[in-house]
Chains A and B, each alone.
Chain A
Amino acid sequence: RKEVEQDPGPFNVPEGATVAFNCTYSNSASQSFFWYRQDCRKEPKLLMSVYSSGNEDGRFTAQLNRASQYISLLIRDSKLSDSATYLCVVNRWMNRDDKIIFGKGTRLHILP
């Protein structure tokens, strides 16, 4: 089983709709979690950190479920500019090293 798994998509969603996708992780020792956004042929950029209590930033909501070992990203009132690949990132300490594990990403297409 891969350490971080995401549905690759693509998710084709009409503009204005709400879309959500999950990311599962296999190592219960994982400590911090992030969502990154990557536009085509560009570098990934941090979208938001994911806190245990959940957090919201405008139209974006991220949640963590430690019991089931997944994180989620919800996008409300989706815009054309939300089209991108969303990468799930899990961070943990192992043998005094900081291990950062990326999912392969979920592609999102917002349709006009």
Chain B
Amino acid sequence: SQTIHQWPATLVQPVGSPLSLECTVEGTSNPNLYWYRQAAGRGLQLLFYSVGIGQISSEVPQNLSASRPQDRQFILSSKKLLLSDSGFYLCAWNNDTGELFFGEGSRLTVL
């Protein structure tokens, strides 16, 4: 069966510090991968998606970036965090059926 792992689960970072969130999927090959952010009391905002290794599409211009160094690995990064980057970050995958499966999320607080 397929599983998705995301870490760290919680982190508190100062403004201006770097960020790296990792996500891996097991049990499937060539999945579509996504990074979403959910700010407090708000809906899900798509940040990046990837249909293959090295293929990243950005939905919202901001100080975040994503990389897909391996088929089942998706990384979200920032060189300098802003206060507005605080939120709940969710990695997800799907195949051609369209149903999305989410990781457990990473809760980021920028102080």
- Residues in chain A within 8 A of chain B (CB atoms): 31-32, 34, 36, 41-46, 49, 87, 89, 91, 97-98, 100, 102-105
Contact among B43, B99, B101 for A105, CB-based, below 8 A: B43
Check if B102 sits within 8 Å of A43, measured CB to CB.
Answer: yes
A43-B90, A98-B32, A105-B43 known; A32+B105 contact, CB < 8 A: no
A103-B43, A104-B43 known; A34+B99 contact, CB < 8 A: yes
Q: Identify the closest chain B residue to A99 (Cβ).
A: B46
Main secondary structure of the interface of A (DSSP, over half): strand
Q: Identify the closest chain A residue to B43 (Cβ).
A: A104
B89 smallest CB distance to A (angstroms): 10
**A46 and B42 alpha carbons, distance in the complex (Å):** 19
Check if B90 sits within 8 Å of A102, measured CB to CB.
Answer: no
Residues of B within 8 A of A41 (CB): 88, 107
Q: Can you offer 28 A-B residue contacts whose CB atoms are under 8 A?
A: A31-B98, A32-B98, A34-B99, A36-B100, A41-B88, A42-B104, A42-B105, A43-B102, A43-B103, A43-B105, A44-B102, A46-B100, A46-B101, A87-B43, A87-B44, A91-B98, A97-B57, A98-B32, A98-B98, A100-B46, A100-B94, A100-B100, A102-B43, A102-B44, A103-B43, A104-B42, A104-B43, A105-B43
**A83 and B101 alpha carbons, distance in the complex (Å):** 21
